[in-house]
């Protein structure tokens, strides 16, 4: 049995991770399972949860706090969204007790003006970043990238951009798929795509990678990275037209892509690890649970 004071869980749409925290927030043990959400549902969320936690060897009486898709309508227990705009502490201090002993879910964020929008999981990353003093504009890239605005401990607004999904759909379900090739990143082609987004509207931009291949001006591999640059460039220019400084919350290749695109566009940014932001916020939520 570890001396953990609590467990944080990030249960997203394609993988689940858990961390056992010591009293200073240090990670004592951790575990991760790659599992599509629909498979987890089929397998039984409770079974997955037990498999996830068992190796952590944590006492039954410490709180476990989870964020992400697991609290959605198709998740294990649905927990409501908290409305944005609102104080950040609304999210942090309100873990919701589930029917499972000592298991709490964090609420996602929703907004209704001018259009409805939702997030589940990214709000936790934002909480982690703000606890390190970051504020202003936040970019959280992904299949559905989120851009959020935080000022004076208030979660003011956010919007979803379907950048990653559109890249995947273009490669899988349009004629462009015939041209694309897996391979090492071509950063020159990527930067050209980002540049093209400055002067070309997106609906036209989505045609260029194919016509470049057809006109034999780019190879399939170049064009794949060019399309990635077009889409990410277009997202950044749309979400941040005045090129304000941005806190970029991402890991791995996603961090690399967005860092490079922001550099091409002359946009200042502070890169933060998404995983580190998540664990920071989950530990803070555990602390607030222990204190109450």
Report the alpha-carbon distance of residue 235 to residue 157 in Å, rounded: 17
Q: Is 238 in the site for a second copy (CB under 8 A)?
A: yes
Contact range with a second copy by CB under 8 A, out of 7-15, 20-28, 88-96, 161-169: 161-169
Residue of 166, 161, 273 lying closest to 228 (CA atoms): 166
Residues 101 to 120 in contact with a second copy, rule: CB under 8 A: 110, 112, 114-118
**Complex with a second copy: residue 19 or 179, whichever CB lies closer:** 179
Nearest approach in angstroms of CB 26 to a second copy is 38
Report the alpha-carbon distance of residue 113 to residue 98 in Å, rounded: 30
Report the alpha-carbon distance of residue 31 to residue 91 in Å, rounded: 25
The site for a second copy, by CB under 8 A, has a size of: 41
Report the alpha-carbon distance of residue 288 to residue 292 in Å, rounded: 6
Contact with a second copy (CB under 8 A) among 124, 130, 163, 247: 163
Contact with a second copy (CB under 8 A) among 19, 105, 161, 179: 161
Q: Site mask, a second copy, residues 169-188, x = CB under 8 A? A: xx-xxx--------------
Contact 273, 234 (CB under 8 A): no
Q: Is 243 in the site for a second copy (CB under 8 A)?
A: no
**Complex with a second copy: residue 104 or 161, whichever CB lies closer:** 161
Report the alpha-carbon distance of residue 281 to residue 126 in Å, rounded: 8
Contact with a second copy (CB under 8 A) among 126, 206, 250, 274: 206
Q: Is 165 in the site for a second copy (CB under 8 A)?
A: yes
Report the alpha-carbon distance of residue 87 to residue 150 in Å, rounded: 9
φ and ψ at 67, to 5 degrees? -125, 165
Task: Spell 135-145 as b/e; 16+ CB within 10 A means b.
Answer: eebbbbbbebb
Q: Site mask, a second copy, residues 214-233, x = CB under 8 A? A: xx-x-------------x--
Q: Is 198 in the site for a second copy (CB under 8 A)?
A: no
């Amino acid at each position: 049995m570890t001396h953990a004071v609590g467990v944080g869980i990030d249960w997203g749409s394609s993988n689940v991770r858990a961390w056992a925290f010591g009293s200073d927030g240090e990670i004592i043990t951790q575990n991760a399972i790659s599992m599509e959400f629909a498979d987890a549902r089929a397998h039984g969320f409770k079974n997955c949860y037990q498999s996830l936690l068992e190796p952590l060897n944590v006492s039954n009486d410490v709180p476990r706090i989870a964020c992400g898709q697991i609290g959605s309508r198709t998740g294990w227990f649905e927990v409501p969204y908290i409305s944005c705009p609102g104080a950040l502490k609304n999210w942090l201090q309100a873990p919701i007790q589930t029917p499972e002993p000592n298991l709490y879910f964090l609420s996602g964020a929703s907004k209704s003006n001018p259009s409805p929008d939702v997030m589940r999981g990214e709000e936790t990353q934002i909480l982690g970043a703000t606890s390190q003093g970051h504020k202003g504009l936040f970019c959280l890239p992904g299949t559905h990238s989120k851009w959020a605005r935080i000022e004076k401990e208030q979660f003011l607004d956010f919007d979803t951009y379907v950048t990653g999904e559109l890249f995947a759909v273009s490669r899988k379900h349009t004629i462009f798929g015939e041209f694309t090739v897996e391979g090492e990143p071509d950063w020159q082609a990527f930067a050209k795509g980002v540049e093209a987004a400055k002067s070309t509207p997106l609906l036209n931009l989505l045609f260029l990678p194919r016509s470049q291949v057809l006109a034999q001006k780019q190879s399939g591999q170049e064009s794949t990275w060019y399309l990635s640059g077009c889409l990410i460039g277009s997202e950044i220019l749309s979400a941040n037209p005045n090129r304000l400084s941005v806190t970029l919350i991402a890991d791995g290749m996603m961090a690399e892509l967005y860092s490079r695109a922001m550099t091409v566009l002359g946009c200042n940014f502070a890169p933060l690890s998404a995983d580190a932001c998540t664990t920071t916020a989950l530990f803070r939520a555990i602390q607030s649970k222990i204190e109450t």
